[in-house]
Every structure is written in structure tokens, then in C-alpha cells.
Structure 1
Amino acid sequence: MASATITSKGQVTIPVDVRNELGLSAGDRIEFILNDATGRYEVVPVIQLVKALKGMIGKPERPVSIEDMNAAIVEQCVLAR
């Protein structure tokens, strides 16, 4: 059985076996969900589906071609130097 210690700041290092089983890596988010049936919390990886991103960025005023996109990327690269 895996175990961990809570630091004075309330932080916990998730044991490597648990991270591997849940498919977690650095930067991933987890949720703590109360299971009403058991009264225990469950640790669940937060997974956002691509569908959840729909509508985050408005539609462009006019269609943008691949050539326009490539030109914009080149322009930003030049400005970044």
C-alpha cells in the first residue's frame, strides 16, 4: 500500500506507483471527489476533452488561409528577435 506525508504547507508527494497507475506526470491536475456511498475521497485526474475548448476563441472576420497563418508565424518570429 502506498502512503505519503503531508508537509507543513499541506503538500503531498504522490508516490510514483500511484502516479503511474493514474497516468499522471508533472503539471497534471487532480481532483478530490467525495464518494457519498463510502464517505471517502477519491483522487481523480482532471482530463479536459478537446470538445471543451470549442468556442473559446471567436471566429475570424474572414477565413484565414494556411499561407496567411505561415506568414503570421514568420512575422512573430522576426519580431521576437
Structure 2
Amino acid sequence: MSTLTVTSKGQVTLRKDVLDHLGVQPGQRISVDKLPDGRVMVSAERASEPISAVFNLLKKENRPALSIDDMNDLAAKGWAGER
């Protein structure tokens, strides 16, 4: 258990071992929930990945990316039952 000291401004500093346990890096956010019995629950906020993280997810190595027209042609053939 870690003991923290409250400053005159009402702030506390979490020790490195606590931050490591939470998996928090500088610049990341921590959420604090007040529980009814006077305790608090501290947890790391987990940001969802940006939409750009999925770019090139399905791209195969050594194969050029499909153009929009190519994708539309493939979709039309699929709907027509062609392969």
C-alpha cells in the first residue's frame, strides 16, 4: 500500500510504482470515482484507437491497393453472382 501526502493546494502525487501498475504514461489521463463509503477508485482511462488505426489493415503485402472504381466493379460483380 502506498501512502500519499496532500499538499496545501489539495493535490497528491501518485508514485511511479502506482502509475506503472495502472499502465499510465505521462500525458495520459486517470479517472477517479468517489465511492459512497469515503473511498475512491483510481483507474487509467483507456482511449480508443483513432479511426486511422484501421488503414491498411487488410492490405496484402506485394499487392497494390484497390481503387474506388475497382472496389465498385468487384461489388457489382458480387451482387450479380459473378466471381
**TM-score, normalising length from structure 2?**
0.50
Report the Cα distance in structure 2 between the residues aligned to 1:46 and 1:40, rounded to whole angstroms.
19
Aligned length: 51
Shift of 1:39: 5.3
Aligned letter for 1:46?
A: E
CA RMSD of aligned residues (A): 2.0
Aligned letter for 1:4?
A: L
Deviations for 1:2-60, whole angstroms, at most 9, x for unmatched residues?
11111111221101111111011221111111345x6521001111112xx56xxxxxx
Q: Quick check: 1:3–1:15 contact (8 Å CA) kept in 2?
A: no
Secondary structure of the residue aligned to 2:19 is helix
1:2-81 matches, within 5 Å, as: 2-35=2-35, 40-50=39-49
Greater share of residues in helix: 1
Secondary structure of the residue aligned to 1:33 is strand
Q: Quick check: 1:34–1:42 contact (8 Å CA) kept in 2?
A: yes
**TM-score, normalising length from structure 1?**
0.51
Report the Cα distance in structure 2 between the residues aligned to 1:34 and 1:25, rounded to whole angstroms.
23
Structure 1 runs of 4+ aligned residues shifted over 2 Å read none
Aligned letter for 2:12?
A: V
